[in-house]
Amino acid sequence: MRLIWQFAAVAAVAFIGGQGAGAVQDQAWLTLVVGALTAVLALFVYRWVVRRTEHREVTEVARRGAGAAVGRGALLGGALFAAVIVNLALLGDYGVHGLGSVSGAAGLAGFMAAAAVTEELLFRGVLFRIVEERVGTWIALTLTGVLFGLSHLLNPHASLWGALAIAIEAGGMLGAAYVATRGLWLPIGLHFGWNFAESGIFSTEVSGNDTKQGLLDATVSGPKLLTGGDFGPEGSLYAVVFCVLATIVLMRLARRRGHLVPRRRRAGRVDATATVAR
């Protein structure tokens, strides 16, 4: 029951924020404001509903250390996507033709902040955390990764390969970021950094969503397996490889810290949420 209440509460904020962002999508600075407000409201609602349904301190979104963890995640996400772009550029599949739009990048920052926060609260904060308590870390990572990938089939230009790539690269890496830190700040920063680099800086498609132009006026062309085609570089084999490598590193860190929950043992709440993101 708590899963339903928590998921519904955050999903409602995400829906309202999405509608608001859609209504002002042609006004970049308003999109930035609406996105930021949606992110803040989603965090407030998540903290409130978890406290009410689980009667505990919501340590996975504790304020202490939040800024540093989000910053590290954003840098890592941006660096990983930049590595994808560098490889495409070396092959001649990514070209920059000049500067794009600063206001467009600002609007995308707001939109991606809202998306990163709400999706991480829903998929890692609610689904992964509660499923992990029942079936352990590895099964939860697989199940929620698949669900995360399938949810992207609703996007324009979606494909089965694109959904599979998202499930492997994002579902795995973002879940691993939560397990390694037992907090949501690192995955939120990682999610935002990747998406903003993809759209706000390098001006490529994000999960087939026809995103607006960011800081660079650029084009992507070449084999779909390497570029992701209309779905965007998230469907690139490079993205899958780099994110899998990051997932391995994060899961090894989680194991070293003793954060893995074994299968067929109900995880105690202290095990699942006591360690604040570092």
pLDDT computed for residue 273 by the predictor: 53
pLDDT in tens, 1-13: 788 989 899 999 9
- Contacts within 8 Å (CB) and 24+ apart, 262-269: 262/136, 262/137, 263/135, 263/136, 263/138, 263/139, 264/135, 264/136, 265/136, 266/133, 266/134, 267/132, 267/133, 267/136, 269/54, 269/56, 269/133
Euclidean distance between CA atoms 225 and 237, whole angstroms? 6
For residues 207 and 234, the answer to whether their CB atoms sit within 8 Å is yes
Q: 10-residue block means of pLDDT along the chain (278 residues)?
A: 89 88 82 94 96 94 95 97 96 93 93 95 96 95 95 86 93 97 98 96 85 89 91 93 97 97 61 46
CA 193 to chain centre: 9
pLDDT computed for residue 195 by the predictor: 95
Specify the amino acid at residue 14.
Answer: A
Specify the amino acid at residue 153.
Answer: L
C-alpha dist (Å) from residue 205 to 36, 116, 213, 265: 21, 16, 9, 41
pTM of the model: 0.91
Of residues 84, 65, 7, 43, the one with CA closest to residue 186: 65
Euclidean distance between CA atoms 56 and 66, whole angstroms? 19
C-alpha dist (Å) from residue 235 to 5, 37, 70, 83, 153: 33, 30, 25, 14, 12
What is the DSSP code (8-state) at residue 198? Answer: I
pLDDT computed for residue 76 by the predictor: 97
For residues 108 and 125, the answer to whether their CB atoms sit within 8 Å is no
Residue 128: exposure state from Cβ atoms within 10 A (0-12, 13-18, ≥19) = buried
- Please give the structure tokens belonging to residue 109: 């920052």
- Please give the structure tokens belonging to residue 73: 């995640």
Which residues fall within 8 angstroms of residue 52, CB to CB, at 6 or more apart? none
pLDDT computed for residue 141 by the predictor: 97
